[in-house]
Amino acid sequence: MRAWLRDTAGGLSATYWYLWTGLLINKVGGFAVLFLSLYLTSQRGAGTAQAGLIVGTYGIGGLLGTLAGGVLTDRWGRRRTLLVSHFATVAALCLLAFNTQLAVIAALCALLGVAQSMAAPAFVAAIIDVTPADKRSRAFNLQFWALNLGLAGASLLAGLLAQWSYQALFLIDAGCTLATGVLIAWKVPETLRTLPPPSLSPSRSPLPSPLPSPWPSLVSSSAQKLRRGGGLGTVLTDRIFLVFVGLTLLQALIYTQASTIVPLAMHADGLSPSAYGSVVALGGALIVLGQLFVPRLIDGRRKARVLALALLLNGAGFAVLALADHVALYLTAAVIWTVGSMLAAPPNAEINSELAPLALRGRYQAVFFLTFPAASFLAPSLGGAGLQYLGDAHWLVVGALGAVAAVLHLSAGPSRERRVAAIRSDTAAIANVS
C-alpha cells in the first residue's frame, strides 16, 4: 500500500502540493454555487425558469472572467492572477450573503462568475509549469481527486447548513476562499517562465560562426510560433484545439446537469435539500475512493476511446433520471454518471495540457475553461426550460447528447494525436536550441 501511494503521489513538487491544497480548501467551502438554484427557489421566491436564468448569469460572468484570467495569466503571471481572483471572490460572496433582491443577486452572481473563473487558467498553467510532462497525468488525476474530495465534504455540510442558514453558506465559502488566497500569497511563487525571442539565441554563442542561423534548420516554423507566442487569435484559429474545446463543452453541458437541474428535479419530486446533498456526496465519495485507481485502468489506452466511453456513461446516467421519482434511483444514476466523469478526467486534462504551447498556456487554458462558465449558463438556462416543458423527456435528450459526443470524440482522436506529436517535437527542438 505504501509503495502504491508513493507511485501515485510521489515526484511532484512542493509548489504543486500547495496549489493542490488550495484547490481542496476552496472546494470544501464551495457551497454557494452548488445550492444557488435551491436558495433562489426556496428563499427568494424565484420560479424554476427564473432561477435558471439567474444562475446562468454566473456563467456569463465566468465567460468574461475566464478570458481575462487567461490573458492575465500570461501577462501578469500565475500568482498575481490567482490572488486577484480569490480576494475578489471573497468580496462577491460577502455581498451575496446580505442581499435579497433578485436583480441585485443576478448582478452579484455575474460578478462572482468573473472573479471565480479567473483562477482556473492560472491554476492549470501553474500546475503544467511545475510538473514534468511524464507526471502530468498523475498530477491532474490527483487534482480531480482533490476537487471531488472537497465536493463530498461540501455537499454533506451544505445540505445541513442550508436547513439552518443559507447566509452561512455564502460566508463560509468566503472564508475558505480567503484561506486559499492567503496560502497562495504565503507559499506559491511565480511559475511563469519568460522565453527570449529566437533571434537572441544565436548571438549568445561565444564563438563566431559563418554558418547561417540554426533556427530555420533545427526548429520548424510552428515551433518558432510557439516560442514567439501570440494572442487569443492564435488560439481561436487552432481548429484541432477548438474541436476538443467544443467536445468538452458538450461534456460540461451534460455533467453540469448534476449541479443545476438535478436539484430542481428532486425538489419537484418532493425531496429535501439534504437528499440532494446525499446524491452529490455519493458521487464525491466514489471519486475519493476510486479516482486514484483510474490511471491503472486507462494507461496505454487511446484517450479518444476512453473519453467516448466516459461520455456514453455520463449520458446514460442522466437518462436514468427519466424514470426517477425517489432517492434510490437518483443515487443509482449518480453512480453511473460519476464513473463516466472519473474516466474522463485524466485524459481530458492531459489532452488540454498537451495541446497548449508553452508561450500561450494561459490563453489556451482560458479558451478551454470557457466551456465551464458557458455550460454554467447554457445548462441551467436550457435545462430549466427543458425540465419545465419536456418533463422527464429532458433526461432522454441529455442521454442522446452523450452518445453524440462519444461518436465525435472517436472521429477527432487521430488528428489530436498527430497535433500532440508535432507539438512535442517542436518543444523539444526549442529546448535543444535554447
CA dihedral for 233, 377, 375, 123, sign (positive or negative): positive
pLDDT at residue 215, as a whole number: 30
Please, what is the Cα angle at 83 between 59 and 345, to 5 degrees? 50
**DSSP string covering 92-112:** HHHHHHT---HHHHHHHHHHH
d(CA 349, CA 365): 10
Q: Cell 487558467 identifies what position?
A: 121
Please check whether residue 423 is in contact with residue 209, taking contact to mean a CB–CB distance below 8 angstroms. Answer: no
pLDDT at residue 91, as a whole number: 94
Residue 264 CA from chain centroid, whole number: 23
pLDDT at residue 3, as a whole number: 52
Model confidence pLDDT, tens digit, residues 216-266: 333 344 444 444 456 778 888 889 999 999 999 999 999 888 888 888 888
Q: Which residues contact 307 (CB under 8 A, 6 or more apart)?
A: 247, 251, 343, 344, 347, 348, 406, 409
Region of 220 (left: φ > 0; alpha: ψ -120 to 50; beta: rest) is beta
N- to C-terminal Cα separation, the chain: 42
Architecture in CATH for domain 13-192+220-433: Up-down Bundle (1.20)
Residue 239 has a CB neighbour count (10 Å cut-off) of 10
Q: How far are the Cα atoms of 95, 232, 431 from residue 209, in angstroms, in the given order?
A: 64, 38, 21
C-alpha cell at 184: 497562495
Q: What is the largest CA-CA distance in the chain?
A: 82
d(CA 348, CA 423): 17
Q: So where are the chain's domains?
A: 13-192+220-433
Please check whether residue 157 is in contact with residue 73, taking contact to mean a CB–CB distance below 8 angstroms. Answer: no
Give SS3 for 105: helix
pLDDT in tens, the chain (434 residues): 455 445 555 678 999 999 999 988 888 777 777 778 778 887 777 777 788 788 888 878 888 888 899 889 988 999 999 999 999 999 999 998 888 888 899 999 999 999 998 998 899 999 988 988 778 878 888 888 888 777 767 766 766 666 677 788 888 889 999 999 999 999 999 988 765 554 444 444 343 333 333 333 333 444 444 444 567 788 888 899 999 999 999 999 998 888 888 888 888 888 877 788 788 778 878 887 888 888 888 887 899 999 999 999 999 999 999 888 788 899 999 999 999 999 998 888 888 888 887 778 888 888 888 887 778 778 887 887 788 788 888 899 999 999 999 999 999 999 998 888 777 766 655 555 55
